[in-house]
C-alpha cells in the first residue's frame, strides 16, 4: 500500500482554484489523458486536484432511470449542471466545498489490482488526517449516495467516495472529499433527484435509498472549519514525504496532443446520453 504511494517523483497538477472557469467534462478528459500518458511512460506518477462549482456527476446506471429528464430538470432548477462520468459509481454532488483528488499511476508489469488502487487512496487520506484521533473507515455506508465498499467514513458518516478509471496501462484512482459545507444537504439534493427520476417504477438496477443523515463533511466530523487550501497543504505534505522530487506542473507537450481527442470522447458520450434523456422525456 505504502509502496504504491511511494514514487520516485510526484507531479502535482492543481486545478482546485479554477473551478468556476473549468467545466467538469474537461476534468474527465484530463484524467483520461493522464492515464494514457503516465501509462505510456511519457509522464511520472501524477496527482491532480480539482474543484467544480454546482455540478452533479451521474454514473452510467443513472442514465437508465425511467424519468431521467424530470430528475435532470429538477437539478437544473436548483442551479446545478449535470454531466455523466466515465468511471464507475452513481450520482455525486460537486461544489466549492468538495475537493477531488486523482492519483494516476503507471500499471507496471504485474499490474495494480483494484483493491490495491482503493487501498492507496484510503491510506493517503488516513495519513493526511493522522493528527486527529478519529478513525477513518473504508466500508459501504448504506443510505449514502454513490455507495461502495470503499466509502470513507468517521463514526458511520460518509465524507468521501472513491472510484477508478483504467486506460492504456494507466490507473486513475479518484476521490471526492466533502471538505466543508453540509453533507446532509448534498444528500437531500440527490435523494430528490432519485425520487423524481425513478418515481414508483420498478427497475432492474437497485438505486440507493438515500438517508441524508449518514453523510457529512470533514469539517462537520472533525469539528474544524477546513478550507480547500488546508486540505491541499496536507496532500502536498504527504506527496512530498513519499517522493524524492515533488513538483507542480501542467500538461506536457505529449499530453496536450492527446487531450483534444479524449475531451471530445467525453463530450460525445454526454451528448448521446442527453439525447437519450430527451427521448425519454
Provide the annotated active-site residues.
146
Q: How far apart are CA 171 and CA 153, in angstroms?
A: 24
The residue with cell 424530470 is: 70
How far are the Cα atoms of 43, 52, 260 from residue 263, in angstroms, in the given order? 19, 17, 5
The edge-to-edge listing of strands for the beta sheet with 157-167 is 137-138, 152-154, 157-167, 170-178, 98-106, 46-50, 7-15, 243-248
Q: Are 146 and 161 in contact (CB under 8 A)?
A: yes
Amino acid at each position: 500500500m505504502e509502496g504504491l504511494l511511494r514514487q520516485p517523483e510526484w507531479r502535482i497538477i492543481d486545478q482546485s482554484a479554477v473551478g468556476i472557469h473549468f467545466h467538469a467534462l474537461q476534468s474527465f478528459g484530463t484524467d483520461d489523458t493522464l492515464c494514457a500518458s503516465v501509462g505510456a511512460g511519457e509522464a511520472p506518477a501524477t496527482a491532480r486536484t480539482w474543484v467544480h462549482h454546482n455540478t452533479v456527476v451521474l454514473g452510467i446506471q443513472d442514465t437508465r432511470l425511467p424519468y431521467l429528464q424530470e430528475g435532470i430538470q429538477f437539478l437544473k432548477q436548483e442551479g446545478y449542471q449535470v454531466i455523466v462520468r466515465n468511471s464507475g459509481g452513481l450520482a455525486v454532488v460537486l461544489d466549492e466545498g468538495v475537493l477531488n483528488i486523482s492519483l494516476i499511476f503507471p500499471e507496471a508489469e504485474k499490474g495494480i489490482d483494484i483493491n490495491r488502487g482503493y487501498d492507496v487512496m484510503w491510506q493517503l487520506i488516513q495519513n493526511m488526517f493522522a493528527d486527529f484521533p478519529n478513525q477513518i473507515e473504508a466500508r459501504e455506508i448504506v443510505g449514502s449516495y454513490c455507495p461502495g465498499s470503499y466509502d470513507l467514513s468517521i463514526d458511520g458518516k460518509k465524507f468521501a467516495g472513491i472510484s477508478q478509471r483504467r486506460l492504456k496501462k494507466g490507473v486513475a484512482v479518484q476521490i471526492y472529499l466533502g471538505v466543508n459545507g453540509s453533507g446532509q444537504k448534498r444528500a437531500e439534493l440527490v435523494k430528490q433527484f432519485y425520487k423524481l427520476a425513478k418515481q414508483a417504477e420498478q427497475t432492474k438496477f437497485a438505486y440507493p435509498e438515500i438517508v441524508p443523515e449518514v453523510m457529512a463533511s470533514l469539517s462537520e466530523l472533525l469539528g474544524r472549519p477546513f478550507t480547500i487550501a488546508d486540505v491541499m497543504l496536507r496532500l502536498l505534505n504527504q506527496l512530498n514525504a513519499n517522493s524524492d522530487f515533488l513538483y507542480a506542473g501542467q500538461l506536457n507537450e505529449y499530453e496536450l496532443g492527446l487531450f483534444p481527442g479524449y475531451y471530445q470522447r467525453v463530450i460525445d458520450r454526454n451528448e448521446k446520453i442527453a439525447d437519450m434523456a430527451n427521448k425519454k422525456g
